[in-house]
Structure 1
Amino acid sequence: MPTLDADLITALRADLTTADFTVDTVRGLWSEAAGGALTRSHRVAAQRELAAAREVGELTAAGTLAWLFVLGLPVTGSELDAALPELGADGAAALGLAELDETQPASDLLRPLVDLRPYAFTDARGAQEWWIASDLGELALGHALGADHVLGVGGASTTLSSLILPREAELALDLGTGCGIQAMHVARRARRVIATDISARALEYADFNARLNGIGNIEFRLGSLFEPVAGERFGQIVSNPPFVITPRVAEVPEYEYRDGGFTGDELVQRVVAGIREHLEPGGVAQLLGNWEYYAGVDGLDRVRSWAEGLDAWVVERELQDAPRYAETWIRDGGTRSGDPEYDRWYAQWLDDFAARGVEYVGFGYLTLRAPAGGEPTLARFEQVESSGTNPAGIGAHVAQALAAHDAVSGLTDAALAELRLKVARDVTEERHSWPGDEAPIVITLRQGAGFGRALQVDPALSGLVGACDGELTIGQISDAIAALFEVDEAELRADLLPRVRELVFTGFLELA
């Protein structure tokens, strides 16, 4: 775990900059095939490609750093001195980044103590690149993770960071900060951020990462859930909480970064309850979570009950049956089928689910808002099929959807009919017909951005959407379509207007 020596961190930052230790540089060190293998936790291909340059002394500074901190392989003290000229090998050791490899006696080989790699992203403020330190993964360790493992930037991290609304906040909260990545994202727009975690090790990593990247408006506090911020309210809350559902038996390991210590999905339920008490009016919270499905009990309906009193938009992106869920999270900790513990833990996981009647577990994200005044107006709980990607700009899409909801939710149908709307620029239409027939049998509107929704529509709604160019009102377009199809104007409006509301919220149509 790195130390917080300011001078050494400054020297490290300078060296990483000089070495051009960036995402593009590291990606270019090995072939696309080797990089793909590395994402699947196989480093041999990348190691072989770098080894050729290393053997003839042609490994760049970025290559040496990637060999040590990304692949988790030892380097000599002279190699590290060359790669980090200001910090040096001694400084790296003093900072807690590397140490002498005691498995190689009578050598000056240094082995890594941390995973340190570049991380790039683009948000509403533009493109940015950081360096993120975390605990070594199982690839470098050669064994399963420890219970106090501090995770780096993973798929869940990038999912949440892509969802964060681009909004200003006087005071923001990152609940369960881990390595600090979400707090750093929020700090780009919030004046002050409080980051909490139950793990002191995680907070030290998060503090180190903020300092390494020159981010000074984050305060770190130790404690469980909302205890460190009792009595405080926030304009923005983000959380990638330890939501994984783990059997509460002594033998199954609990990892601090993913297991909250509660039975079932109680942790997420408690986070939502705390959010209600800690958002200022108009404030927004976004988090990831799991929720359980029981026989005859829908998981999203359970989440609906948790979020009472808040505007809520909950998207379920994946639904796993009990066996698949157990397999996913046993493997996540580094235990593989064939390991002595695997089958035993698998059985205990299934026993836990069976005892509580759990059939499925849903995964998704929650956007919650404290009403600025009056009662909540948004209660949307939906399943959206996952594309397997985290589209850039999804946070801006969520913000636009909330703004669209606020604009039309209070309108009567008569007022809605007076709006002038435009088709969003990312929307396309597909038509399918039987060979030789002109009339389509299937019309599908597709969204290129946002959640990438696909919506089957009838000819009337397709015609309305196609005519939305901001010139005519929705009512005028509907009446023209009624005349074309020779149907009753009032009946067609009654059919189309609720669907127009949905298209405005989901981003197919925009206010002109």
Structure 2
Amino acid sequence: MTPYAAPITLDGDDAVALRADLAPWTVDAVSELVGNRAVRALGREHVVPARLAAREAGRDPVALLTRLLTLGETLTRADVERALPRLGADGAARCGLVAVGGAGDDDAARALIDLRPYATADGDDEITWWVASDTGEAVTSRQLEGDHVLGIGGATTTLASVTMRTPVGRVLDLGTGSGIQALHASVHAREVVATDVSERALAFAEFNRRLNAPPAAWDLRLGSLLEPVEGELFDLVVSNPPFVITPPGTPSFEYRDGGIEDRGLGGDGIVRRLVTEVGSVLSPGGVAQMLGNWEIRKGQSWTERLEGWLDDAAASGWPLDAWIIQRDVLDAAEYAETWLRDAGVIPERGRDAFDAAYEAYLSDFDARGVEGVGFGIITLRRATGAPTLRRLEEHEGELPVPLGPHIAASLAAHDWLAYRTDTELLEERYVVAGDVTRETYGRPTLHDPEHILLRQGGGFGRAIKADTALAGFVGTCDGELTAGQIAHALAALLDVPPGRMVEGLAPAIRELVRDGFLRRG
């Protein structure tokens, strides 16, 4: 492994100066500068359209910052002075942001790292942060180094979106990388402990903490998995762990696999370890939210494998409520191709090396009977009594942003439903959520629709097929009548025995309340 140069640093005065210089450099400012075409191309990791647009803006500071720190262009010392008037070129070099060729205005300056603005919301307020990481392959056109520190990507934003933002005391960001999840946690937590196996990653996280000055206290710790926090308890654990399955003979990166083979955690062992052991660091009622993938082996469904992990957690003394959503499945060959491409190992850069790594993947998978790999979102909660939730499901399609509020509302609805009898359920009044619509389908010659769908606009965008009774029930839920009153009225209207109507509606009401179609009036 070729070592990187020394990590970036930032002292108090330089942090104040840099923060002031970057203030106009926001996500909206960059989007306005380069335009939608370039923004979409950046999302596909292509920088050429953005470079062209930024060059056309001349020496505008936003354009210069974007060209230098995000797009990897070589500028001049004078350009750096214009873009960073308070920190200056010498200050930027001192912090490790840039390398400057000399003291002349026309001497070349180039970025040593990637720095870019990032936007998030805190209620009705928008927050801008600036996140430093190692420069990606789209800029360098080189295969990544083994200790590469990843910047903001799809997994980063997915985890940030699904995380519940209920105010809490202590948060653990396990595998913090550049620290973006720790920044998010700082908005709603008193204290954040961020861990990583990479010293370089922790250096970037510390730089980003000093640059953005989050309100919560941070404690950065070096170590693997739960070892740095053994014996401590947290209200929330968030983790985008290094879960990529990396057989011997394939490219290894700390941010993807964390050296799991060296720790005896081959295959999907790192996710299994976290699922079975995270309860040991959760306060009663505490929640863990993480991304992960799991092997799907011949003769075993993905749910069986995850159920086994949850059973192991309970047997170890940590019974957990669990809601696990499988978002995607790749067969063994697709998985190998995906992560080899992510590592920059492609046929165009060396057919022999690509074929050897590809074969190593497939040989390892075939030896262990792995037919595919599932990827998804894991939400676990340390039960205060006997667990009441074990929900493993599949969901495809785009996810709305943010999703955390919906997950929190669904968990709260589950808790309310868990201790309500059907009789108590029918005594309540309900209101249809504002994002629910009804769709009807059928041949034009038929008086009544053949299909009725209740569709959710927010949340997971679920659609429920409804019969006439259920559609009529939901359409009457305006908070005026109890569910039981509506059920008896529908029974009379449809000439159905009341007991049969109630028996059919009760489980449907539970599902609708749990998933946010109905809310208590």
TM-score normalized by the length of structure 2 = 0.93
Per the TM alignment, residue 125 of structure 1 is displaced from its structure 2 partner at its CA by 6.5
Paired AA for residue 379 in structure 1: R
Cα-to-partner distance string for 1:453-473 (whole Å, 9 max, x where unaligned): 122121111111111111111
8 Å contact kept, 1:291–1:300? no
Q: Which moved more, 1:44-53 or 1:315-324?
A: 44-53
8 Å contact kept, 1:117–1:131? yes
Structure 2 CA distance for aligned equivalents of residues 164 and 34 of structure 1:
29
Q: Superposition pairs for residues 154-169 of structure 1, below 5 Å? A: 154-169=153-168
Aligned equivalent of 1:424: 433
Aligned equivalent of 1:348: 360
Q: Superposition pairs for residues 219-258 of structure 1, below 5 Å? A: 219-247=219-247, 249=248, 251-258=249-256
8 Å contact kept, 2:47–2:139? no
Structure 2 CA distance for aligned equivalents of residues 338 and 458 of structure 1:
55
Aligned equivalent of 2:88: 88
Paired AA for residue 306 in structure 1: W
Aligned equivalent of 2:379: 367
Paired AA for residue 194 in structure 2: A
Given the alignment, which residue of 307, 315, 331 partners 1:321? 331
Aligned equivalent of 1:377: 388
Aligned equivalent of 2:56: 52
Structure 2 CA distance for aligned equivalents of residues 73 and 242 of structure 1:
30
8 Å contact kept, 1:235–1:284? yes
Aligned equivalent of 1:311: 321
Structure 2 CA distance for aligned equivalents of residues 417 and 52 of structure 1:
65
Q: Which moved more, 1:88-97 or 1:307-316?
A: 307-316
Does residue 464 (structure 1) correspond to residue 473 (structure 2)? The answer is: yes
Does residue 269 (structure 1) correspond to residue 267 (structure 2)? The answer is: no
Aligned with 2:85: secondary structure? coil
Given the alignment, which residue of 4, 10, 21 partners 1:4? 10
Per the TM alignment, residue 124 of structure 1 is displaced from its structure 2 partner at its CA by 3.7
Q: Superposition pairs for residues 19-34 of structure 1, below 5 Å? A: 20-34=24-38
8 Å contact kept, 1:168–1:190? yes
Does residue 111 (structure 1) correspond to residue 110 (structure 2)? The answer is: yes
Structure 1 CA distance for aligned equivalents of residues 333 and 18 of structure 2:
45
8 Å contact kept, 1:272–1:306? yes
Paired AA for residue 148 in structure 1: D
Structure 2 CA distance for aligned equivalents of residues 476 and 382 of structure 1:
33
Per the TM alignment, residue 307 of structure 1 is displaced from its structure 2 partner at its CA by 2.4
Per the TM alignment, residue 25 of structure 1 is displaced from its structure 2 partner at its CA by 0.8
Aligned equivalent of 1:197: 196
Does residue 436 (structure 1) correspond to residue 451 (structure 2)? The answer is: no
8 Å contact kept, 1:424–1:510? yes
Q: CA, structure 1 residues 334+125, in 2 after alignment: closer, same or farther (shift >3 Å)?
A: farther
8 Å contact kept, 1:283–1:369? yes
Given the alignment, which residue of 488, 491, 494 partners 2:497? 488
8 Å contact kept, 2:96–2:112? yes
Aligned with 1:382: secondary structure? strand
Cα-to-partner distance string for 1:80-134 (whole Å, 9 max, x where unaligned): 01111111111101100011369xx996111111100000012446321100000
8 Å contact kept, 2:251–2:357? no
Cα-to-partner distance string for 1:433-483 (whole Å, 9 max, x where unaligned): 111212111111111111111221211111111111111111111122122
Aligned equivalent of 1:289: 292
Aligned with 2:81: secondary structure? helix
Structure 1 CA distance for aligned equivalents of residues 503 and 298 of structure 2:
37
Paired AA for residue 512 in structure 2: L
Structure 2 CA distance for aligned equivalents of residues 119 and 464 of structure 1:
44
Aligned equivalent of 2:146: 147
Q: Which moved more, 1:354-363 or 1:93-102?
A: 93-102
Does residue 454 (structure 1) correspond to residue 463 (structure 2)? The answer is: yes
Q: Which runs of 5+ in 1 are unaligned?
A: none
Structure 2 CA distance for aligned equivalents of residues 305 and 163 of structure 1:
24
Paired AA for residue 15 in structure 1: D
8 Å contact kept, 2:72–2:111? yes
Cα-to-partner distance string for 1:418-442 (whole Å, 9 max, x where unaligned): 1111111000010011112121111
Aligned with 1:59: secondary structure? coil
Aligned equivalent of 1:386: 397
Aligned equivalent of 1:336: 346
Per the TM alignment, residue 41 of structure 1 is displaced from its structure 2 partner at its CA by 2.1
Aligned equivalent of 1:129: 128
Paired AA for residue 296 in structure 1: G
Q: Which runs of 5+ in 2 are unaligned?
A: 1-6, 312-318
Structure 2 CA distance for aligned equivalents of residues 476 and 47 of structure 1:
64
8 Å contact kept, 1:294–1:360? yes
Paired AA for residue 8 in structure 2: P
Per the TM alignment, residue 48 of structure 1 is displaced from its structure 2 partner at its CA by 2.2
CA RMSD of aligned residues (A): 1.7
Structure 2 CA distance for aligned equivalents of residues 296 and 479 of structure 1:
47
Aligned equivalent of 2:79: 79
Q: CA, structure 1 residues 106+50, in 2 after alignment: closer, same or farther (shift >3 Å)?
A: closer
Paired AA for residue 283 in structure 1: G
Structure 2 CA distance for aligned equivalents of residues 320 and 447 of structure 1:
27
8 Å contact kept, 1:288–1:364? yes
Structure 2 CA distance for aligned equivalents of residues 26 and 135 of structure 1:
20
Aligned equivalent of 1:445: 454
Paired AA for residue 254 in structure 2: E
Q: Which moved more, 1:304-313 or 1:417-426?
A: 304-313
Paired AA for residue 469 in structure 1: D
Structure 2 CA distance for aligned equivalents of residues 193 and 179 of structure 1:
14
Aligned with 1:167: secondary structure? coil
Aligned with 1:470: secondary structure? strand
Structure 2 CA distance for aligned equivalents of residues 436 and 292 of structure 1:
49
Give percent identity, aligned residues only: 49
Structure 2 CA distance for aligned equivalents of residues 101 and 445 of structure 1:
64
Given the alignment, which residue of 5, 14, 20 partners 2:20? 14
8 Å contact kept, 2:89–2:100? no
